[in-house]
Structure 1
């Protein structure tokens, strides 16, 4: 299953990455730069495909030509294709479980075999792109700066009560996987809650405000609860993987947010 990604911007001091080809001091570094392909949309946006090689896993970037943001790729980019998670754009015709990945929420950048044409697919939308000539591309890439993806959290649990109030739990990605964020509210109007994670174990999580007046109990086996003082409200679990477009497009947490993907400006 594709990991669902959430959003929080990294501190400005952390926004710096070495380019995929390093300082071009070694032959293998220069080969990475030579093999990188650039597609442009004609509106000042560029997508970089850094293909997989024996020495390099491959990477995908998107930006304005001055700054490029790393896009977490699904699989490994090749010379002609890169896939990326994009829950805002849904393609019902794609395979919902290909080797464990739901490709209905995966988008693509593709170059033709002769490298003369390029297309960006965001869900069911397909937009023409223009490959950038090799020498022009290298000049562009050498002058640019590079930064990590702004996505630092992912939807972890989604619950709702019988009045239509939603409870979204986000969990940090990677080294931040012990961090959580809680959002509650009606569809399109969810707001962050200042709650502490007081319990995390194999059976679930318990979150609480500082004084304990509000608690959210997320249970693996028993019903989950929203607790206001001593009053419990039973919650229904809503599968995250089956509701990603809803979470990203309708719930309200990500309204207007940029995920750093080539579909940001579609």
Structure 2
């Protein structure tokens, strides 16, 4: 008998504020914190949009925060991968068509990555979203420290991220999302429908273990079974329809731009406004 755990899936777009967090430099009261703050660059487009960049020691990725100078949202770190350029951040709403879609056959798709490029020696900064680059200006260090120490910081507003994607032989997609770390949420949500018309479903997560997950309506008439070893399937009143898995990492552009689930959503990156 499978253990059961009931987690009601959240609404598609939550209106609640993201949890407050501490930036990498904290209150900048000790030497280590002040050194992190000194390494942090702050850029602005002069139109009320700011992005801070803190290099991660010993790693290729950079910790970014984006906001209006008074309130900043954390941008999730890009994976520390040799093929992902420094300054990259994930925003699958925008495609870089010149990027490699399958690096060395590894399945790594670089097209959904945008980038903040800071050159402190040349005193330049720019934000690239897909194929569009917007010049930013580096804020003078003393002013940057003042802004960064007075601002409030929040976790990324993206409370759920793609966990699994499947489709049936009729072109109906089944998207399962899982709550993101630090979001303040817990659990999954399920959306089903044809491309561009996926709708959130009122389903419960009744099974979650090393073999997969099972989602069900309260009465059990509808079930979505995700299996890591056997074929997954959709159940309507005990009638099964086998589903084909669609790899999430290779289909982020499809998920964010064509299924309809993320239409109009803000992800807390500079690309929300540029």
What TM-score do the two structures reach when normalised by structure 2?
0.82
Q: Distance in 2 between matches of 1:152 and 1:63?
A: 17
- Give 2:114's match in structure 1, choosing from 101, 107, 116: 107
Q: Distance in 1 between matches of 2:231 and 2:107?
A: 27
Tell me the secondary structure at the aligned position of residue 255 of structure 2.
Answer: helix
- Give 2:193's match in structure 1, choosing from 179, 182, 185: 185
- Give 1:126's match in structure 2, choosing from 133, 144, 158: 133
Residue 173 of structure 2: aligned partner: 166
Residue 3 of structure 1: aligned partner: none
1:24 matched to 2:28? The reply is: yes
Residue 142 of structure 2: aligned partner: 135
Q: For 1:179-201, what per-residue CA distance to the aligned partner results, in whole angstroms no more than 9, with x for missing partners? A: 22111112222111111222233
Q: Distance in 2 between matches of 1:206 and 1:229?
A: 15
Q: For 1:117-161, what per-residue CA distance to the aligned partner results, in whole angstroms no more than 9, with x for missing partners? A: 111111222221111111221222122111111223221211122
Q: Distance in 1 between matches of 2:15 and 2:27?
A: 25
Q: Distance in 2 between matches of 1:83 and 1:201?
A: 33
Q: Distance in 1 between matches of 2:230 and 2:257?
A: 29
**1:37 offset after TM fit, Å?**
0.6
Q: Runs of 5+ in structure 1 lacking a partner?
A: 1-6
Instruction: Check the 8 A contact 2:27/2:149 in 1, yes or no.
Output: no
Q: Which has the higher contact order (CA 8 A, sep 6+)?
A: 2
Residue 69 of structure 1: aligned partner: 73
Count, aligned residues = 254
Residue 90 of structure 1: aligned partner: 95
